[in-house]
Structure 1
């Protein structure tokens, strides 16, 4: 049934859509996963194409970093705005707009005549991407009402990253081998068009009951902070870490942090809700997201150049070599969703940190570079760790919030991922440009260790959100009992 018919029974400003059938929920989940697929597939496939792009556009290491980080920076900068805007004007409306912009940006990237134009079009493409992932997660959160069903849906959502990793290197390598790197962007066109058609037909409209105001000052401060930090890291090796340009960039970043800390708490509805970070589980989830995706960004960047420039593999062979990591991510992402629903998020995070750290240690010790068996083991361990970490991050960050704030929470979690990816690429590229690949492997070890430490802040099991706790304490204090869905009659209580 078309989405328009599904929402016609109620006013368009309804806070939540009517409960959907099981089949309809699964179609909505598939549509949301398609959006994640094109965003993730674009990144994993493009990593394999970096050496080809480097030769075709005569780009240096910093040029390759900007090709990737222009996308992740814009994505990270606008995720929170996209999430809050979707909560305000409609999640399906913003989601469809994001699909149009992302698909158009992909076509422009495929037609880019030079490196500068490619970086600019990647930034435009990212504007569309910022309207996809957090909004899709908000749609999923508002579609799946049962907690365990939601955890399974998040696991499938995370498994989509595994699919993109499994298909991205092979597909990207095959396209570059048969055609060139531009074909990777053309691949987004049919997937984006399919997602648009399915969204129009199946995804219902939903929005938060109380619209949030726009925060242009906060948005500008976030852009300045992320841009100045990344610029300083990427250009520091070439310009000199003590040069006025780089010191100025980091000084601007510090000023932006101070301005955010002063300005945002004074707004009634800030873009960046610093109050959400008062809870250790939420803060820990964001920190884990930054560390895990910094490890992923650095891992893909370093290994793509290592396999093709050092081992002399062609793009297709390099993609095949990355398949063990991608396949294990594909297997362990939905498994992590199941484990999170049954055991809580802490154990998956603990196991993820252990596997990621062990993978980095194999690279640092030279085991991964000495033999194919060592390289295979390191890739499998990284895939296990990354596959396990995504579901508990999202579960802890999103499901601990009221549904009306799902867009904001999902946006912050997605922002943490993109910030981590940008920083991982920037740091790994900086140490590689300095002539030290081994230092890049140490970046992977540190990221894994940070995920491992983050397990201490992750709850053992799902806890009620802050919004529910005062009500539950009041009920216990007054001696009242919660009623079941079938309770009725003389007491006149209604369900919480």
Structure 2
């Protein structure tokens, strides 16, 4: 019996390793490309708006397809959905490496985003269902969040090294062997989950893609054409109108991709809002710093990655430590600590920005890395409110909100940068980042207070 239990534990650990590797590779791709934007632009052409589309072609597709991917996870089984996502992601990565034009590269990034969207909710669902006990699940989610931290931490440095040694195409080829290793571990050590038939919401999916693309495109065009340009206004107005239509459709269709009933649970709604703010700040800040270091400070890809290393190293460390912190102080406090550090770091960068040297910025960027304490904590909160037969859909909604925040962060904060990435515009971008982080802190404090009041009320109710 002891040997059987040991084998089962080992198999679960290897299965979790495969799940985390798959999550790591799609997180790695969200940051590794930032330090290569300069060399890509020199090779294929393109100004700052083009660089934003290289980043957001991936993030936007990732965000908009995550909702349907959650349904896929429930419909075909999470392991199958995970493997499908890995295969699409690897093919998209190979296409990026072989791209001969900026258009082809952006299209290939869209393919990568589609694969990442299929994989993400499946990874969360597999963790949740493989570790049903609350204590084991919390530890597994800590490791899962740590994999994300490693991806974020390794991206800029690994990207800089690969670009310097082999050229920018290598940053995409590195994904292929990692995806293959993840797939092998999954096939051998992770069981398929139960299938739940949920019809696909085609109108909702089309509206989600169109709305996010319009809003993101509108913010990106402000950088080149200004806020009052006809195209900018048209895209932003269209995005808002489509978002309204999306809400109406989701309230009226029989099987919505975003079930409005999920948002009646206030803890889940708060976790979703915090996730949106978190990725808005994280993705937008990394993009702005990479552009600033390359264009204003004149750093190449390798030195840009090294300049970001202290921040990303702390990000990875904090993501791993988050599990222990959550066990001691709870999810809400971990979120407050992380986002408060982000607020302080962003404020310091905004004050230092005029004429700031790379060395002067590094201590403040380290504070941004501490925000990773919030990642596993907010994920655990969201999943704790998921119905057992809707884990895929729930994780899809939660992660779609995060990736939507990431796409908008690159677009909005990128729009606050002038074309040369000067320090003046960096100040505006990080003032906005600090305000967003502070909003997240307020949301977490409100959620914590509400939960404490609810617990006290339950404890003092008669008959309990």
The TM-score normalised by the length of structure 2 is 0.91
| Distance (whole Å) between structure 2 residues aligned to residue 331 and residue 367 of structure 1 | 26
Aligned to 1:202: 189
1:324 has 2:313 as partner: no
1:437 has 2:423 as partner: no
Alignment RMSD (CA, Å): 2.3
| Distance (whole Å) between structure 2 residues aligned to residue 97 and residue 408 of structure 1 | 17
- CA contact 1:368–1:377 (8 Å) conserved in 2: no
Which sits farther off after the overlay, 444-453 or 102-111? 444-453
1:51 has 2:59 as partner: no
| Distance (whole Å) between structure 2 residues aligned to residue 73 and residue 367 of structure 1 | 29
Aligned to 1:488: none
Superposed, 1:425-464 pairs within 5 Å as: 425-433=410-418, 436-459=425-448
- CA contact 1:289–1:416 (8 Å) conserved in 2: yes
Residues 274-296 of structure 1 show CA distances to partners (whole Å, capped at 9, x for unaligned) of 22122221111111111111111
1:311 has 2:297 as partner: yes
| Distance (whole Å) between structure 1 residues aligned to residue 359 and residue 102 of structure 2 | 37
Which sits farther off after the overlay, 68-77 or 43-52? 43-52
| Distance (whole Å) between structure 1 residues aligned to residue 304 and residue 228 of structure 2 | 37
Aligned to 1:118: 105
Superposed, 1:127-206 pairs within 5 Å as: 127-206=114-193
Superposed, 1:4-23 pairs within 5 Å as: 21-23=8-10
- CA contact 1:76–1:416 (8 Å) conserved in 2: yes
Tell me by how many angstroms 1:371 deviates.
Answer: 5.3
| Distance (whole Å) between structure 2 residues aligned to residue 323 and residue 138 of structure 1 | 31
1:291 has 2:280 as partner: no
Superposed, 1:257-268 pairs within 5 Å as: 257-268=243-254
Tell me by how many angstroms 1:151 deviates.
Answer: 1.2
SS state at 2:417 partner? helix
Q: 1:326 to 1:460 in 2, by over 3 A?
A: farther
Aligned to 1:66: 53
Which sits farther off after the overlay, 49-58 or 247-256? 247-256
- Partner residue of 2:386 out of 401, 412, 425: 401
Kindly tell me the number of residue pairs found equivalent between the two proteins: 449
Residues 96-118 of structure 1 show CA distances to partners (whole Å, capped at 9, x for unaligned) of 11111100100000000010110
Higher helix share: 2
- CA contact 1:428–1:443 (8 Å) conserved in 2: yes
Aligned to 1:9: none
1:229 has 2:218 as partner: no
Q: Which stretches in structure 1 are left out of the alignment for 5+ residues? A: 1-19, 466-471, 482-496
1:388 has 2:373 as partner: yes
- CA contact 2:17–2:185 (8 Å) conserved in 1: no
Which sits farther off after the overlay, 357-366 or 452-461? 452-461
Superposed, 1:86-101 pairs within 5 Å as: 86-101=73-88
Residues 203-243 of structure 1 show CA distances to partners (whole Å, capped at 9, x for unaligned) of 210034x4211110111111111111101111133334233
Q: 1:132 to 1:368 in 2, by over 3 A?
A: farther
- Partner residue of 2:320 out of 334, 349, 352: 334
Residues 279-326 of structure 1 show CA distances to partners (whole Å, capped at 9, x for unaligned) of 221111111111111111111111112222222222212211111111
SS state at 1:458 partner? helix
Q: 1:329 to 1:57 in 2, by over 3 A?
A: same
Aligned to 2:334: 348
The TM-score normalised by the length of structure 1 is 0.86
Aligned to 2:14: 27
Tell me by how many angstroms 1:367 deviates.
Answer: 6.9
Which structure is larger by alpha-carbon Rg, 1 or 2?
1
Q: 1:240 to 1:318 in 2, by over 3 A?
A: closer
| Distance (whole Å) between structure 1 residues aligned to residue 237 and residue 301 of structure 2 | 40
- CA contact 1:337–1:391 (8 Å) conserved in 2: yes
| Distance (whole Å) between structure 2 residues aligned to residue 293 and residue 156 of structure 1 | 19
Aligned to 1:415: 400
